[in-house]
């Protein structure tokens, strides 16, 4: 069984996620395309716009939360600890973050520790599916604070 490769795309100008279908916008049909180098461009019926830095590509991490919702990098997840589970702090919020050094996704604490660092860990399927749920993302929920300095994280 292979891993499902999926993406979503955030448009910094329109402040929306692009759907994976052609989208009608202000009377024109537009499609978001990616070239072989990974650069995204918006193609309309009359024009082709290469928009460097306008779009943010976020990958599905291959895990579902406790409600069956897909988890993407940039999502904010919250730990919902069941009664009697004393292994973790309840209602702990974390951002899903790609960590190049580990070649994998980490959950990075939204709130800083007393020493100013942010704890992180590499998620596993059973734990995520049991106690985590997606509560937002870093673009649509800017009121949720999120890590800006992942290299200063404290490993668990």
User: Exposed, middle or buried: residue 148 (CB in 10 Å: 0-12, 13-18, 19+)?
Assistant: exposed
| Ramachandran class of 56: left when φ > 0, alpha when ψ lies in -120 to 50, beta otherwise | beta
Please give the average pLDDT of every successive group of 10 residues along the chain, which has 156 residues: 82 82 58 77 70 85 93 90 59 85 86 76 81 90 54 42
Q: What is the pLDDT of residue 86?
A: 53
pLDDT for 142: 67
For residue 155, the model assigns a pLDDT of: 42
In 3D space, the residue among 128, 139, 2 whose CA is nearest the CA of residue 68 turns out to be 128
At residue 128, the pLDDT reads: 85
**Tell me, what's the pLDDT at 148?**
47
| pLDDT score recorded for residue 136 | 92
Query: What per-residue confidence (pLDDT) applies to 64?
Result: 92
User: Can you give the pLDDT at residue 121?
Assistant: 78
- pLDDT at position 49 is 67
At 137 the pLDDT is: 93
Domain ranges, ordered by start, for the chain: 7-55, 59-155
CATH 2.30.30.290 fits 59-155, yes or no: yes
Which pTM was predicted? Answer: 0.75
Calpha distance 95→67 (Å, rounded): 17
């Amino acid at each position: 069984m292979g891993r499902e490769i999926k993406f979503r795309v955030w448009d910094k100008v329109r402040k929306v996620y692009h759907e994976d279908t052609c989208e009608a916008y202000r009377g024109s049909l537009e499609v978001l395309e990616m070239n072989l180098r990974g650069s995204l461009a918006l193609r309309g019926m009359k024009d082709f716009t290469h928009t460097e830095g306008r779009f943010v590509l976020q990958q599905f991490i291959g895990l579902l939360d406790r409600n069956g919702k897909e988890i993407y990098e940039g999502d904010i997840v919250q730990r919902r600890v069941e009664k009697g589970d004393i292994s973790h702090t309840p209602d702990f919020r974390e951002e899903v973050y790609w960590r190049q050094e580990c070649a994998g996704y980490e959950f990075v604490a939204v709130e800083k520790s007393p020493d100013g660092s942010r704890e992180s860990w590499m998620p596993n399927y059973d734990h995520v599916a049991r106690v985590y749920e997606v509560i937002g993302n870093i673009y649509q929920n800017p009121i949720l604070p999120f890590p800006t300095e992942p290299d200063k994280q404290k490993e668990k």
